[in-house]
Amino acid sequence: MKALVLTEYQKMEYLEVEKPEISPDEVLIQVKACGICGSDIHGFDGSTGRRRPPVIMGHEASGVIAEVGTAVKGWNVADRVTFDSTIYCGHCRYCQNGQINLCENRRVLGVSCEEYRKDGAFAEYIAVPQHILYKLPDEVTFNQATIVEPLSVAVHAVSLSPRTINASTAVIGAGMIGLLVIQTLRATGYGNIIAIDQDESRLEMAKKMGADVAIYSDDTTVETVKKITGGEGVDIAFEVVGANSSFNTAIQCARKGGAVTLIGNVSPKVELPLQTVVTRQIRLQGSCASSGEYSACLDMIARKMVDVDSIISAAAPLSQGNEWFSKLYHHEGNFLKIVLNP
């Protein structure tokens, strides 16, 4: 089969590789679409240390079942499916508690690190265990299904956040995940939604996606948020970047007794304004990936509760993957999601 392989850092090659063999509890999926994730771009240059060449990356995918293992039940050849990016064991204390994203034996598709190697979906075929499969509704296309994984990240973060009626929110970072957080907040009945970013085009997109106010991030951002919220700050701030400045902006935008939900993690460390957090009694909530929200997200897309078509900037053949990785890595163009089709 053909696959897009990270053969060395900053070099993707479209190569002939062996088709995966399936175990009894796995299915072989003919991949129809796979989105390029931001984590793939960070893996492209080796900055994460979790995509060690050679490896086939890609975990935001959909396709058709081409073959089923002997122990597989409830799934058939030709079923249209997507699948979780995380392979969880189902047996550890976290899985038993419904926290599959925290699984002690967690493996992520398209990752090659010291602990394990699991090729991903930038290929014509991928083998995955049956317990991470989800059937695609007829209303959801293969390309649209590539947004299920990032949408599930947004839905998980919102579900972890403390909820009050008509709660005001600020979303710091209007990239793809931030835009999906905004749409999720709007779809689930939150109050005033403030988008904050340093890209005017992203701010315009944020307003289209449901933000009530869009603020260009600068030295006056916190003051502007306070004016909008009657001097108090927002009930919940969502930090979707993971950098020191955006982290501190989120904390300063939260009202006394408010909350900050942390989604972004580009930086391994940030400075914590401890006295501000303690004396204002601000709750910090980390949010890791997703934990079983795929079915809800597929339903949201099928019922057009979220606009995923506007998130997809372009679709291209898998053979052109190296060109698109290079464009995204060098920030050539203002793209949100690129989908590759084998």
Task: At 53, list the tokens.
Answer: 């060449």
Q: How far is it, in rounded angstroms, from Cα 165 to Cα 271?
A: 32
Q: How far is it, in rounded angstroms, from Cα 216 to Cα 238?
A: 16
Residues 6+ apart with CB under 8 A from 25: 69, 71, 72, 129, 130, 131
Are 170 and 237 in contact by the 8 Å Cβ rule? The answer is yes
pLDDT band at 42 (very low <50, low <70, confident <90, very high): confident
Residue recorded with tokens 């394990």: 116
Are 58 and 34 in contact by the 8 Å Cβ rule? The answer is yes
Residue 204 has pLDDT above 80, yes or no: yes
Give φ, ψ of 280 to 5 degrees. Answer: -95, 0
* DSSP-derived secondary structure letter, 202: H
CA nearest to 83, candidates 148, 164, 17: 148
Residue 281 has pLDDT above 90, yes or no: yes
> Cis peptide leading into 20, omega within 30 of 0?
no
Q: What is the sign of the dihedral through the CA atoms of 335, 207, 311 and 111?
A: positive
Query: Strands 169-172 and 193-197, how do they pair?
Result: parallel
- The residue type of 177 is I
- Using one digit for the tens of pLDDT, what is the confidence trace for 133-159? 999 999 999 999 999 999 999 999 999
Q: How far is it, in rounded angstroms, from Cα 146 to Cα 341?
A: 11
- What pLDDT does residue 51 have? 86
Report the number of secondary-structure helices (H) and strands (E) in the chain. Answer: 11, 19
- Using one digit for the tens of pLDDT, what is the confidence trace for 299-336? 999 999 999 999 999 999 999 999 999 999 999 988 99
Q: pTM (2 decimals)?
A: 0.95
Residue recorded with tokens 């970072």: 173
Calculate the average pLDDT of the chain. 95
Domains and CATH numbers, the chain: 2-147+311-341 (3.90.180.10), 152-286 (3.40.50.720)
Q: How far is it, in rounded angstroms, from Cα 287 to Cα 304?
A: 25
